[in-house]
Structure 1
Amino acid sequence: MNLQKMFEMQKVLDDRIIKEKGLEGQDLLPNLILALQVELAECANEWRGFKHWSNNQQPNLTKKVNCVDCYGSGDKNVRLLATPRVTCPVCHGSGKVIDSYPLLEEYVDCLHFILSIGNRLDYNDSETINIILSKYLNIRGILNPKWLFSSLISTVAFTRQNYINLFINFFTLGKRLGFTFEQIEAAYMDKNAVNHQRQQEGY
């Protein structure tokens, strides 16, 4: 996994958002922390393993949905009622039902905010990245996702060591959910492109 590249890609996206939304000079760290906590909760909701009251505690790994960009119309700009309309790049104009990967998508949404927090706090240097990756590769034993979600959601004091621990726990969670580094990186790249497209469309 090229974590340095992902930090850089996230910085480009964040800088674009800050510029286009007129947020220069504002302290956005509290927003990023809250957004991460919300996304972690949404990820846990797709995991479902904590729902002892439900007969369905299986994770939502895949589901069939209408194209998320065009809602099955085949037309990319259907939400904006923009003209001229163009063929949807997700379903290629077919308007067909496509596969969605809810748990991985929510997990990667979390990753966007973890990277943003690291960029904001200047924890994106090569030494920190090497520590994160080397510690992750040497993890012995896998914690229960319930404890990992709880630990991640409650992490709010971002010293460098806390940030490193947050990232290690996050990658450990990903491993426990069955995701490979390759899947995580590919899903991140896809979602980063979607986020740029959303900015382009006035999200």
Structure 2
Amino acid sequence: MNLEEVFEAQKILDKVFADAILKKEKSFFDKKIVIALLVELGEFANEVQSFKYWKKHKQTDRSKILEEYADGIHFLTSIAYPLSVPSKLNPDIKYKNFVLQLSYTYKLFSNLIYQKNKENVLKAYEAYLGLGQLINITETEIIKSYMAKNKKNYKRIQENY
């Protein structure tokens, strides 16, 4: 997958965010961004609903799934490009079952709290792309959803969100 367009857009957005972030919010930023990534993974999983063993009638909304997935791409990319993770990535499907792949992705994301390096971020990013592939999220959908969210983020900055 070629996400160069996403990586370039995220670099620009991050510069705008950096100027807008209060100094006190910059403390422990490296931990906060990984926690945000984990939260977004949870929100994405919540929309997909595969883990909800107690629900008999699972109704999903593809647009919400894509928006939450794009949020994960946003944070992953912010973590990835400063470490020179390439924008051409190969989705990694370790498990063909969504719940197992989700668990694996959670493990890799959690590992970034303490060991955030190029190799670990690359593995985490590719596992996340694999997770998306398991529910047929295409490269085109990733880019389109990301760009829509990017536009929304600029609006939030203008409105002092």
Tell me the TM-score normalized by structure 2.
0.85
Query: Which residue does the alignment assign to 1:169?
Result: 127
Which residue in 1 is equivalent to 2:22?
A: 22
Q: Separation in 2 of the partners of 1:140 and 1:44? A: 16
What's 1:123 paired with?
84
2:87 partner SS: helix
Unmatched tracts of structure 1, length 5 or more: 62-100
Instruction: Name the structure 1 match of 2:141.
Output: 183
List per-residue Cα deviations over 1:151-185 (Å, max 9, x = no partner).
Answer: 22222232322211111111111111111100110
Q: Determine if the alignment matches structure 1 residue 154 to structure 2 residue 107.
A: yes
- The superposition leaves residues 111-154 of structure 1 with CA deviations (integer Å, 9 ceiling, x where unpaired) of 000001113x4234xxx334xx2x33xx6786211122212222
- Greater relative CO (CA pairs within 8 A, separation 6+): 2
Aligned length: 155
CA distance in 2, matches of 1:26, 1:7: 24
Inter-partner Cα distance in structure 1 for 2:94 and 2:83: 30
Identical counterparts, % of pairs: 32
> Are 1:102 and 2:64 matched, yes or no?
yes
CA distance in 2, matches of 1:3, 1:51: 31
Long gaps (5+) in structure 2: none
More helix by share: 2
Q: Is the 8 A contact 2:95 2:101 kept in 1?
A: no
Partner residue of 1:7? 7
Indicate the residue corresponding to 1:52 in structure 2.
53
TM-score (norm 1): 0.69
Distance in 2 (alpha carbons) for counterparts of 1:140 and 1:179 = 13
- 1:43 — aligned with what? 44
Cα offsets for 1:16-55 (capped at 9, x unmatched): 1111123497441111100000000010000111111111
The aligned counterpart of 1:145 is: 98
Map 1:41-80 onto structure 2 (within 5 A).
41-61=42-62
The residue type paired with residue 197 of structure 1 is K
